């Protein structure tokens, strides 16, 4: 955590290599990956149906990975992208990149300034509008996610949109134009639960492709204020003992990772 650093070699060259029968393909049916037995990876030479919108994803340990979409009417077994995260962080990263590239191509076929059709730029992942000389790159939306602690307690909240899952999680939000990540932490915490924090410490990052976030994880200590909910965003929030936590996100998410990491360090006395 995060991304099995040092275990794999990932290369993201801007120019796609020549196609080969041994290329590894990640295929999408809607928003889900098409299964090949128990795997979501196919080899080009073995695929029995057609696909479109092909994109080069990158190289993993020297193996070339591509992605594409199949017809929505196809009858195939699929796997949700979230499920891939529980199998392998590296596989999740590649699948997230694959989906992001396909969505970006589809959403940037025309220039947002003049309306003319855009074209791929040789040598790098960019769409270009020739009349405007504008380039459009795959979208990444930076967000902060913050674990707030008060000794043996953590402040966890249940979002209005995610209430059906029953999880209590860390607070998170998008970084606004002109903000630093640290400013966004202070603003989001105050807006969502009405408290102030101090002693921010960066913990790590994780891609979260729902649809295109990059989560920047922080640990912050409680500094003051009473919990006051932002009703259109937060359904419930409270202080929880690390020995009596509610249902929290799975450990492959940066939220679950930060909560479990703090709990372990507190119990072991290593903070």
One domain, residues 151 and 254: yes
pLDDT at 208: 92
pLDDT at 8: 86
In the block, residue with structure tokens 């992942």: 125
Which among 54, 82, 107 is the end of a domain?
Answer: 107
One domain, residues 53 and 150: no
Is 123 inside a domain boundary?
no
One domain, residues 101 and 146: no
One domain, residues 146 and 260: yes
Question: Which ranges of the chain have pLDDT less than 70?
Answer: 1-3, 5
Is 251 inside a domain boundary?
yes
Cα–Cα distances (Å) from 162 to 9, 36, 87, 168, in that order, read 35, 31, 23, 9
Task: Encode pLDDT of 91-126 as tens digits.
Answer: 899 999 999 999 999 999 999 999 999 998 888 889
Which among 64, 86, 107 is the end of a domain?
Answer: 107
Is 119 inside a domain boundary?
no
Structure tokens given for 123? 């040598």
Domain count, the chain: 2
pLDDT at 73: 75
The whole-model pTM stands at 0.90
The CATH number that applies at residue 100 is 3.90.79.20
Cα–Cα distances (Å) from 89 to 13, 79, 86, 205, in that order, read 21, 15, 7, 12
Give the three-class secondary structure for 218. strand
One domain, residues 96 and 157: no
Is 127 inside a domain boundary?
no
One domain, residues 73 and 24: yes
Domain that holds residue 232: 141-268
pLDDT at 14: 80
One domain, residues 44 and 93: yes
3-state helix, strand, coil in the chain (%, to 5): 20, 35, 40
pLDDT at 5: 67
One domain, residues 99 and 159: no
pLDDT at 2: 55
Which among 107, 127, 159 is the end of a domain?
Answer: 107
pLDDT at 3: 57
One domain, residues 231 and 176: yes
Quick check: 29 and 84 in contact, CB under 8 A?
no
Helix H or strand E segment including 202: strand 196-208
């Amino acid at each position: 955590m995060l991304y099995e650093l040092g275990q794999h070699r990932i290369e993201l060259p801007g120019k796609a290599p020549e196609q080969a029968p041994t290329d590894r393909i990640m295929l999408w049916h809607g928003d889900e990956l098409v299964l090949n037995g128990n795997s979501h990876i196919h080899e080009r030479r073995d695929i029995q149906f057609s696909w479109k919108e092909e994109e080069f994803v990158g190289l993993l340990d020297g193996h070339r990975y591509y992605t594409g979409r199949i017809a929505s009417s196809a009858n195939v077994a699929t796997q949700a992208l979230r499920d891939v995260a529980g199998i392998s962080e590296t596989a999740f990263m590649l699948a997230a990149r694959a989906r992001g590239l396909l969505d970006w191509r589809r959403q940037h076929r025309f220039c947002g300034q003049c309306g003319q059709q855009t074209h791929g730029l040789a040598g790098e992942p960019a769409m270009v509008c020739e009349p405007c000389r504008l380039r459009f790159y795959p979208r990444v939306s930076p967000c902060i996610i913050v674990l707030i602690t008060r000794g043996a307690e953590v402040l966890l909240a249940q979002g209005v949109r995610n209430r059906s899952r029953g999880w209590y999680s860390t607070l998170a939000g998008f970084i606004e134009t002109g903000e630093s990540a640290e400013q966004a932490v202070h603003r989001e915490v105050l807006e969502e639960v009405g408290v102030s924090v101090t002693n921010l410490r960066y913990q790590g990052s994780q891609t979260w492709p729902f649809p295109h976030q990059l989560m920047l994880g922080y640990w912050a200590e409680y500094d003051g204020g009473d919990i006051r909910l932002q009703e259109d965003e937060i359904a419930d929030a409270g202080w929880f003992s690390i020995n009596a936590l509610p249902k929290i996100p799975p450990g492959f998410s940066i939220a679950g990772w930060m909560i479990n990491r703090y709990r372990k360090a507190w119990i072991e006395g290593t903070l």
